[in-house]
Amino acid sequence: MAPGQGSVAIVRISGPQAETIGRLLFRAPGQQPWDSHRVLYGHICDPATDERVDEALLLWMKAPRSFSGEDVIELHGHGGLIVVERVLELVLAAGARRAGPGEFSQRAFLNGRLDLTRAEAISELITARSRRAAQLAMAGLEGGLQRRIEALRQQLLDQLAELEARVDFEEDLPPLDGAAVVAALEEVRKALEELVAEAGQGQLLREGLRVAIVGRPNVGKSSLLNALSRRERAIVADQPGTTRDLVESELVLEGVPLTLLDTAGIRPTDDPIEQLGIARSHQAMATADAVLLLVDLAEGWTTADRDLRAQLPDQVPQLVVGNKADLAGVTPGLLPDADATAIDVAISARHGDGLKALATALLSRCGNSLGPGLVVALNGRQRDLAAAAAGSLDRSLEAAAQQLPYDFWTIDLRQAAGSLGAITGEEVTEAVLDRVFARFCIGK
Give yes or no for residue 217 having a pLDDT over 70.
Answer: yes
If residue 51 lies in a helix (H) or strand (E), which one and from where to where? none
Number of CB atoms found within 10 A of residue 288's CB: 23
Per-residue pLDDT reduced to its tens digit, 191-213: 999 999 888 778 777 877 888 88
CB-neighbour burial class of residue 14 (10 A; exposed 0-12, middle 13-18, buried 19+)? buried
Q: State the virtual CA torsion across 37, 42, 48, 51 in degrees, nearest 10.
A: 160
Q: What is the pLDDT of residue 236?
A: 41
Lowest mean per-residue pLDDT among 144-148, 190-194, 355-359, 440-444: 440-444
Q: What is the pLDDT of residue 368?
A: 61
pTM: 0.72
Q: What is the pLDDT of residue 66?
A: 93
Number of CB atoms found within 10 A of residue 406's CB: 20
- Pick 403 or 132 by higher pLDDT: 403
- Phi/psi at 123 (nearest 5 deg)? -60, -40
In this prediction, what percent of the chain has a pLDDT beyond 70? 85
Rounded to an integer, the average pLDDT of 311-327 is 85
Starting at the edge strand that comes first in sequence, how are the strands of the sheet with 38-45 ordered? Answer: 6-14, 72-79, 52-61, 38-45, 26-27
Q: CA 349 from chain center: how many Å?
A: 30
Q: Are strands 209-215 and 256-262 parallel, antiparallel or unpaired?
A: parallel
Give yes or no for residue 223 having a pLDDT over 50.
Answer: yes
Residue 233: pLDDT band (50, 70, 90) is very low
Give yes or no for residue 240 having a pLDDT over 50.
Answer: no
Lowest mean per-residue pLDDT among 73-82, 305-314, 334-343: 334-343
Q: Which amino acid is at 82?
A: I
The Cα–Cα gap between 71 and 17 comes to 8
Name, in order, each residue with C-beta under 8 angstroms of 443's C-beta and a sequence gap of 6 or more: 12, 99, 104
Per-residue pLDDT reduced to its tens digit, 241-280: 444 455 667 788 777 888 888 776 555 555 555 556 656 6
Q: What is the pLDDT of residue 144?
A: 87
Please tell me whether residue 438 adopts helix, strand or coil conformation. Answer: coil
Contact 277, 206 (CB under 8 A): no
Q: What is the pLDDT of residue 361?
A: 86
Crossing angle of the two packed helices 430-437 and 103-110, in degrees rounded to 10: 140
Rounded to an integer, the average pLDDT of 42-55 is 95
Per-residue pLDDT reduced to its tens digit, 389-442: 999 999 999 999 998 888 888 899 999 999 999 999 887 777 777 777 877 776
If residue 433 lies in a helix (H) or strand (E), which one and from where to where? helix 430-437
Q: What is the pLDDT of residue 42?
A: 96
List domains and CATH numbers for the chain: 6-98 (3.30.1360.120), 144-204+375-423 (1.20.120.430), 209-288+290-365 (3.40.50.300)
Q: Are strands 72-79 and 6-14 parallel, antiparallel or unpaired?
A: antiparallel
Name, in order, each residue with C-beta under 8 angstroms of 134's C-beta and a sequence gap of 6 or more: 125, 128
Contact 236, 324 (CB under 8 A): no
Q: What is the pLDDT of residue 305?
A: 83
Greatest mean pLDDT among 5-14, 91-100, 116-125, 357-366 lies in 91-100
